[in-house]
Chains A and B, each alone.
Chain A
Amino acid sequence: MTNGLFDTPRYRIAGDRGLLVEYGDRIDLAINRKVRSMAVLLDQSPPNGIIEVIPTYRSLLIVYDPAETVPETIQTGLETLEGRLADIEIPPPKTVEIPVCYGGEFGPDIGFVAKSHDLTEDTVIGIHSATEYPIYMIGFTPGFPFLGGLSEKLHTPRLESPRTHVPAGSVGIANNQTGIYPVASPGGWQLIGQTPLNLFDPARENPFLYDTGDRIRFIPISVETYRQMSEAEGH
């Protein structure tokens, strides 16, 4: 085992319809790539009886119909697919630019994040917007991206008491993670800014702007630009 990647996957039973497959024991790009590659292979040639495949940081949940298949059969299928891992190409990552108005009413916790690290708010913005963040997984709410690669200078614990309402578009920090709330929801992340973009719109031909494996870069914008873009997005 190197870098937390398991030599053979670990299988866990998730009830009568779910098989959880773990490929490693940590948050790591190589492990995540293997998870996503297996998901691509399963999408391309879905074994009989598979209803849905859900890739996350280091594990894959396979939802199946017990009338059609059993975990043993799925495992055998996965082992066969592993042999084809080297041949497949997962879609090349695209970099998606997300405009963010940092601080003020848009990022009520930026002062706390700055103070926790003896930084100015401008430095926080500079550091946060200087990285291209890989999307390890999407979940929690529609299109919520879990991003890796947050600078250690900005690691900040969650709020002690979560907010009951986080506005859509809020950009937050939780420990070593950063992410965006595409729809309004409760949430405990430290909010440092907000994007005017609609990150999730079920009525749009492509409801999402990015997929797991893509990269996100945050572009700081002014309040004025935020207002203009927000209007253009139909808010």
Chain B
Amino acid sequence: MIKAFKVLTPGAFTTVQDLGRFGYQRMGIPVSGALDRFACQVANMLVGNPPDAAVLEITVMGPRLEFLSETHIALAGAQMGMTLDDEPVSGWQSIHVGPDDVLDIHQVTSGCRAYLAINGGIDVPLVMGSRSTYVGGRMGGFKGRSLKIDDVLKSGDSIGLDTPRRLSREWIPAYPENIVLRAVPGPQDDFFREGLDTLFSSDYMVTARADRMGYRLQGPDISLLEHMPPSIISEPSMPGGVQVPADCQPIVLFVEQTVGGYTKIATVISPDLSRLAQAVPGDTVGFESVDLETAHRIYKEEAVRLDRITRLLSQ
């Protein structure tokens, strides 16, 4: 364990996350973890870490960090200007830092969340199998909360990184202000008919109420079939579930929710959640219906893409 950095300013909302906490949803503990799993994994690969090492999830406005020892770091995900001791540095590549260096991550210019990986991973205690912060449960991550000024975080044992790593431009995602998310109808698609047409043919705007629990959207009302009740017996929910509450305005559930009593008209496929994680209030979201077979094909293609990136980076 090495003292890695001290927080000079924490940014808008910066938490420690890995790929999530599994096995405890039945006890009311949500999966948590990085919202943009693609960027989180690539950030780790850029510094030689395993893809599930703990990173900082940085939301909208970045922190200012003073490094306490020599290491390698990388930022992936949303575009945020960045300086190291006042010299501009770029994302999607490994950066060598030394003790006393100050990294300043600015306001986002495209996207919403960036991931800062550090060689060896951020070292916080494993809580129920994960290092992810679940702020609502005051558990995991760094003291169960977002970072504050003067926090000192440690990193795990260093992992050899022979040459600098950089992701070539063709693999770097763009974060447009209009996105289309692919979604599989269900689990309660039989509660809707016109509502399904509405969802899959309309544009919805991301409201200010968009966080790790869910993204509330605003747009045409999604109507239930006449005889169907708006609420159901509370049941578990998956990240990506498109919940339709009594006001008929959809909410895409994210990673800090375990059960709910509203119908879910469709479920966004997991690879597309990384793209939703980069949407900010005011952006436009549409939905495209895909069947389960197609969803599984896309899921496997995504895994192949990540494998290729892993191989390219470790060459």
Give me the interface of A with B, judged by CB distance under 8 Å.
Answer: 12-18, 20, 25-27, 39, 51-59, 61, 63, 66-67, 70-71, 137-144, 146, 182-183, 185, 200, 202, 207-208, 211-212
A185 contacts B28, CB within 8 Å? no
- Asked, given contacts A14-B241, A212-B26, whether A56 binds B187 with beta carbons under 8 Å apart, the answer is no
- Measured CA separation A17–B270 after assembly (Å): 8
- Measured CA separation A63–B299 after assembly (Å): 14
- Closest CB in chain B relative to A157 CB, distance in Å: 13
Task: Please name 8 pairs of A and B residues whose Cβ atoms are closer than 8 Å in the assembled complex, sorted by A.
Answer: A12-B186, A17-B238, A52-B23, A55-B26, A56-B233, A58-B235, A142-B28, A200-B137
A57 contacts B233, CB within 8 Å? yes
Set of chain B residues within 8 Å of A138, measured between Cβ atoms: 26-28
- Measured CA separation A54–B235 after assembly (Å): 9
- Interface of B, secondary structure class, is mixed
- Interface: B42 (CB within 8 A): no
Given contacts A14-B237, A15-B240, A141-B137, 17 further A-B contacts (CB under 8 A): A13-B186, A13-B187, A13-B267, A15-B241, A15-B268, A16-B269, A52-B22, A56-B236, A61-B236, A67-B299, A138-B27, A138-B28, A140-B258, A143-B27, A200-B137, A202-B127, A207-B27
A14 contacts B267, CB within 8 Å? yes
Give me the interface of B with A, judged by CB distance under 8 Å.
Answer: 22-23, 25-29, 127-128, 136-140, 183-188, 233-238, 240-241, 258-259, 264, 267-270, 292, 295-296, 298-300, 303
- Asked, given contacts A16-B292, A27-B233, A61-B238, whether A142 binds B267 with beta carbons under 8 Å apart, the answer is no
B26 contacts A54, CB within 8 Å? yes
- Measured CA separation A20–B234 after assembly (Å): 12
Set of chain B residues within 8 Å of A141, measured between Cβ atoms: 28, 136-137
Set of chain A residues within 8 Å of B187, measured between Cβ atoms: 12-14, 18, 20
Give the nearest-CB partner of B238 in chain A.
Answer: A18
- Measured CA separation A152–B26 after assembly (Å): 28
- Asked, given contacts A66-B300, A71-B292, whether A14 binds B22 with beta carbons under 8 Å apart, the answer is no
- Measured CA separation A204–B71 after assembly (Å): 34
Give the nearest-CB partner of B183 in chain A.
Answer: A15
Set of chain A residues within 8 Å of B233, measured between Cβ atoms: 25-27, 56-59
Give the nearest-CB partner of B125 in chain A.
Answer: A203
Set of chain B residues within 8 Å of A208, measured between Cβ atoms: 27
B303 contacts A67, CB within 8 Å? yes
A66 contacts B258, CB within 8 Å? no
Q: Which 10 A-B pairs have the closest CB atoms?
A: A15-B267, A139-B259, A12-B187, A61-B236, A16-B295, A54-B236, A13-B186, A18-B238, A202-B139, A139-B258
Give the nearest-CB partner of B138 in chain A.
Answer: A183
- Measured CA separation A182–B29 after assembly (Å): 12
Give the nearest-CB partner of B272 in chain A.
Answer: A16
